[in-house]
Every structure is written in structure tokens, then in C-alpha cells.
Amino acid sequence: MNAISPIISADELADALAGPRPPVLLDVRYRLGGPNGRPEYEAGHIPGAVFVDLDKELAAPPGAGGRHPLPDPEVFGAAMRRAGVRADSPVVVHDADKGWGAARAWWLLRWAGHRDVRVLDGGLGAWTGPLETGTGRRSDEGDFTPAPGALPLLTADTAAAWAREGLLLDARAGERYRGEVEPIDAVAGHIPGSVSAPTDGNLDEHGRFLPPATLRERFTALGAESDEVAVYCGSGVSAAQQAIALELAGFVPALYAGSWSEWSRDPARPVATGPLPG
């Protein structure tokens, strides 16, 4: 497990920004099915933060790999360099909602070999410092070059194996897991053998992550028995938030990035419904 915590408080961020080695700030405002977050960013963001477009810079175009396939490493690396990310620079990412967009950026950077990445706990709502307006473009180019493979990444086949032989968590809302509704993908239900674990269960009433001991109790109660736990969601975005919670709890998270949007595209793959893993 990475020695650097995956999260940072607003007070810690303020101190870091005022220190001798301020982090690169990435603003990844994203809402499932919502509009691009750039207008909100330009209306007010943490000084120095650079907007990152999840759909265009943190994902490849939708297709057989799901709604948010992993981006081409060269495309992702170019986006991070434009944002000023360097191999030796600390990075802090945030969004304005449940931490999903920020977590996607955190996971991608970690997966691509950058070790010093943290998510602002509580998102923009936790920040009490000043805001600035405008495009906020950085003038200094970064040098980060992705080296993918630093975090465990699952395919549909290995996710199915995790569901049979280990613990595969489904981070979507419970009603989607049970197959009662499916507002986005063509098929409702879940991967047979997976266990429902909605991301809302990782946060307190202020949108901050629960204490590590509380998170560990949660995942242990869901069946975590080894250090490694796998997770998926609808398209690999909210599952990254679950990956942060798992790391805080002391587990090593493996992410199925294609998630339900990839799994459900293949009619040959089995589908379970109802409250039980199936």
C-alpha cells in the first residue's frame, strides 16, 4: 500500500499551497449524466487549480470497453503535462460532488506510476479559502510520462473470477445492483457473485471519508477476508472512490475499469438480480 494517504484535508491543502513545494491542483468537476463542469470551474475555483475534463482527458470514447474506458496513456499523459503535472510534484485533485471525478484522476495517476497524489477530502465544499475565476490555465508544462500498471486492473474475466473466488464489490446504488432500475446501461442487474456496497456508505454527512477503522469494519462486514478486494461500478468512475475508501481501510483495491457498462454489453455474460450475490 502507498505510504502517502490518498486524501488531504482542506487545512492541510492550504498549508501545502503556502509551503515551499505547493502541489499541482486539478479540478475534476463531474456529475453522472450531467453537463461539462468547466462553466462551474470558471465561475469559481481554488487559486491555481486547472480544470480536467473527465470525459475527454480521463477516458477514451465510449465503446466495447464501456462508457468510460481507460484513456490512451499518451493522451492521458499529454493532458497531465498540460495541467503542469511533473513526475516529482505532489498532486491534489478535487471535485464538487461525491469525490467520483477526483477519485478517477487519483486512480489513473496512481495506476500510471505517480505516487504522490491525494484527493481533497470533502471536495470543494470543504474549502474555506479564496476562489478565483476564469480559465486558470497554467503556463508551466509538466513532464509526467505514464508508466501504466502500478495498481491492479481487472478485465471482465478476472472480475468474474474475483466474484467467484474472492470479494468483488459493486459500488453502484443498491437499486441498480438489485436490477430494480437501470437509468444508463441497457441491462439491469449485477455481476453474479458480487456484493452490493454503495459509495455513499464510505462518507459522512459532510461528504468526507469515514475514519479508516470504520471503513475497515464496513468492508470486513461485507466479506473482506484478505488484503486484496476488487471493485466495480457503472463505468469505472465511482468505483475509484471506493478504491480510496478501501486503501484508507488498509486493503489493496483492484479496479474493474470497464465495470457494468462493459460487462452488460456482452449478451453471453451472465446477469444476476435481487439483493443477494446470486
User: How many structural domains are present in the chain?
Assistant: 2
Q: Would 101 be classed as within a structural domain? A: yes
The chain-wide mean pLDDT, for the chain, equals 95
27 & 119 share domain: yes
Tell me whether residue 180 is in a domain: yes
| Catalytic choice (233, 244, 245, 246) | 233
CATH number at residue 247: 3.40.250.10
Helix, strand, coil percentages for the chain (3-state, nearest 5): 30, 15, 55
Residue 34 has pLDDT above 80, yes or no: no
Task: Give the tens place of pLDDT for each residue, 116-149.
Answer: 999 999 999 999 999 999 987 776 899 999 999 9
Shared domain for 12 and 122, answered yes or no, is yes
Q: Do 271 and 265 form a contact (C-beta atoms < 8 A)? A: no
Q: Are 249 and 204 within one domain?
A: yes
Please tell me whether residues 60 and 162 are part of one structural domain: no
Number of neighbouring beta carbons within 10 Å of residue 152: 15
Amino acid code (one letter) for 83: A
**Within this chain, do residues 47 and 87 fall inside the same structural domain, yes or no?**
yes
**Per-residue confidence (pLDDT) for residue 166, from 0 to 100:** 96
pLDDT for residue 135 = 86
Same domain? For 158 and 107 the reply is: no
Q: Is residue 145 part of a domain?
A: no
Q: Is the predicted pLDDT of residue 255 greater than 90, yes or no?
A: yes
Please determine, for residue 46, whether its predicted confidence score (pLDDT) is greater than 70. yes
Model-level pTM?
A: 0.96
Average of per-residue pLDDT across 160-179: 97
d(CA 111, CA 243) in angstroms, rounded, equals: 12
Average pLDDT over residues 151-179: 97
Residue 132 lies in a domain: no
Q: Is residue 276 part of a domain?
A: no
User: Is 249 marked active-site?
Assistant: no
Distance set, CA 278 to CA 24, 25, 270 (Å) = 44, 42, 10
Q: Which of 82, 109, 126 is the last residue of a domain?
A: 126
Domain-embedded: residue 220: yes
Give yes or no for a contact between 131 and 47, defined as CB atoms under 8 angstroms apart: yes
Mean pLDDT of the 158-173 span: 97
Query: Which residues constitute the domain of residue 171?
Result: 153-263
In this prediction, residue 119 carries a pLDDT of 98
| Contact present, 210 and 183 (Cβ < 8 Å) | no
* Sheet of 91-94, strand order: 7-8, 117-120, 91-94, 24-27, 50-51
Residue 269 falls inside a structural domain: no
d(CA 217, CA 235): 26
